[in-house]
Amino acid sequence: MKPIAAHNHQTAIRSARRAMADYETILGLTETFKVLSDPTRLKIVFALTRIELCVIDIAELLDVTESAVSHQLRLLKTLRLVKQRKEGKMVYYSLDDEHIEDLIRVATRHISE
């Protein structure tokens, strides 16, 4: 952020307005952060930064039921935070793309500083 020598309210407001995301983006971000605010879902996302896992693996890792994991994965999948891949009867989950891992890494670094 650049310091402004003499503060002009109208200039500052125009600049802030240009930086403001559109309403749909704000809603999407709100939903994403809301979903990630749940500790179980965040643990799932952290686990998937390393390797793809099935529901059974995640349930054992987090010591929760497979039903609970499936419910959380459904929410994460709805927001395109995770994706699935079928191999025979097994379904494996991974992060939807590298941006999700970047988001987690930046947030982790932020709270660590």
Rounded CA separation 19/23 (Å): 13
Tell me which residue has tokens 């879902």: 41
Q: What are phi and psi of 82, to 5 degrees?
A: -130, 160
Rounded CA separation 1/78 (Å): 35
* pLDDT score of 2: 61
Asked if 44 contacts 73 with a C-beta cutoff of 8 angstroms, the reply is: yes
* pLDDT score of 7: 75
Each residue's pLDDT expressed in tens, for the chain with a length of 113 residues: 666 556 789 998 999 899 999 999 999 999 999 999 999 999 999 999 999 999 999 999 999 999 999 999 999 999 999 999 999 999 999 999 999 999 999 999 999 98
Rounded CA separation 24/1 (Å): 25
Architecture of domain 9-112: Orthogonal Bundle (1.10)
Closest to 75 in 3D by CA, of 31, 25, 23: 31
* pLDDT score of 4: 52
Q: What are phi and psi of 37, to 5 degrees?
A: -80, -10
* pLDDT score of 76: 98
Annotated domain spans of the chain: 9-112
